[in-house]
A and B are shown apart, each in its own frame.
Chain A
């Protein structure tokens, strides 16, 4: 297999006396959708927070394309091409899709007007149309406030926002947790298209069926460590559940 795009080795994280991560490893390869699964409290969210820069590891190292990196903040992660879609939708509901896509990265008018702080809304709308189009996000009215969209469309905007700016990896923490069947399908379709853009996607999910449906690879965590890895197409739900609950030996010990 090729060199991992993003690699974590021996990550340790304490919260007071609680050891959330106990020497956790994790690999993401280029152009893949890798699912990260595990029971509640296995440390999935903590690991993602560390890789996305919103928490700092106590021990361990992270490499991106073979080079060791330090992710001190979410902004450093963004600069490295790593974006995160948060569980609680980090969107501004009163702004439209294009304003949300470009939030914090607004395009300014050229020349003096731009220096005075004038936005280039036309260019942002065109860019948003293209970005949404590529990811198959269908917004009937691109200038309608995000709050007026359905839950699935809103999640798609959040995903599109991350994907549009990510050049390396997108983390998706339970992106379909609050969605209905049709909307879930639409978001998963968007996740699939991330791969077509040459970006890797890391999907955290509790839904085994969903994981088997979209993931190229599956990494399983239990009690703060990685305990198993599967090829997405070959794994069964029974295997995954057994790995999550300790039915098989730990990877390191095997």
Chain B
């Protein structure tokens, strides 16, 4: 490839933008006239724009760092790095679809990872050569820990009527503190070899298992949200809780289920994190909650509930990762990602507000 001057890069970026714009316009017009079909409905919304943004970012980084960004290695690394976040973001999507928020996910993940690792290290024995029974026990403990925190969140929100922001801020502190107390702040580094093998394993020697598993979670989440009664109730509650109640939906019970699901997915993500890093990574989850929430919001889920797509969330998880990787490869400080994600977050919420205001005026 020929040398890339700043001027040329700008010209290329402009050319891409000019070409993508009418395409997006045509697609919106098309999906508006059709109005039907799952694909058209999903892509007719914010998700289409977010997807175009993701593609544009990847193209730009590929142009600016030819042969470095879109390599097999880098794409695989990015996919692996978003897989844990995607799993908790799917749970967060359901919570936010009800008009709530779950701040506790990253620390519930941490707590679940610690309890799971400790159970596998029970009695101080080295579990490196332990078999599937110990691994399975570790998985059950991780899921159970997450589920317990999730149910607590749900009870506090639905029954005690504590606003979700405060309820999950409370359990954030509790799960964080307990995780530090249980672990003495020390990472547990001895885990069954089988777990590490799972974390490092790849399908066809190409796609990491964890990426496949995270994708499966996202697919199941998308199907649940769009095609099942559980998803319908989730959106109905977020759209108008009183209407859902009057329609005979047991709103409290459903909210508990949704928070429980978010907690359990955080527990599952904890197990995936153990598999990838073969340690509890105690200091590594400080921003998981905000990253998950940012991903959900960037993906077009409304902050006030009622509108949500798992497809959008999946793209919303990828955009910060692409920015992080791109900035790092280009030699900028990776903190530019945080700046960019913050700006995109505000834009996404602004777009949602505009949409609502337009709607209310009609």
Contacts and interface: CB of A to CB of B under 8 A. Distances in A.
A93 B304 CA distance: 12
Contacts of A144: 35
Contacts of A103: 232, 236, 243-244, 247, 249
Contacts of A88: 242
A82 interface: no
Interface string B206-245: 0000000000000000001001111010011011101110
Contacts of A108: 229
B236 A95 contact: yes
A90 B240 contact: yes
Contacts, number: 75
Q: Chain A interface mostly helix, strand, loop or mixed?
A: loop
Interface in B238-282: 238-240, 242-244, 246-249
A108 B228 CA distance: 9
B36 A143 contact: yes
Given A86-B246, A104-B248, A93 B227 contact: no
Contacts of B249: 103-104
B228 A147 contact: no
Contacts of B88: none
Interface residues of B, number: 27
A242 interface: no
A95 B230 CA distance: 14
Interface string B338-362: 0000000000000000000001101
Nearest to B245: A90
Given A86-B246, A90-B242, A148 B362 contact: yes
Contact of B227 (A99, A118, A150): A118
Contact of A94 (B228, B248, B306): B306
A119 B41 contact: no
A112 interface: no
A117 interface: yes
A81 to B, nearest CB: 15
Most buried by B among A86, A93, A150: A93
B110 interface: no
B236 A92 contact: yes
A241 B235 CA distance: 45
Interface in A189-214: none
Nearest to A124: B232
Nearest to A116: B228
B191 interface: no
B307 interface: yes
A106 interface: yes
A94 to B, nearest CB: 3
A94 B229 contact: no
Contacts of B235: 92, 94-95
A93 B240 CA distance: 7
Given A95-B235, A144-B35, A150-B362, A119 B228 contact: yes
Contacts of B302: 94
A106 B243 contact: no
Contact of A143 (B35, B239, B360): B35
A24 interface: no
Interface in A143-160: 143-145, 147-148, 150
A234 B303 CA distance: 54
Interface in B67-82: none
Interface in A118-139: 118-119, 121
Given A78-B248, A103-B243, A104-B244, A94 B307 contact: yes
Interface of B: 35-36, 41, 224, 227-230, 232, 235-236, 238-240, 242-244, 246-249, 302, 306-307, 359-360, 362
Interface of A: 74-75, 78, 86, 88-95, 99, 103-106, 108, 116-119, 121, 141, 143-145, 147-148, 150
The 3 closest A-B pairs by CB, nearest first: A104-B247, A94-B306, A92-B239
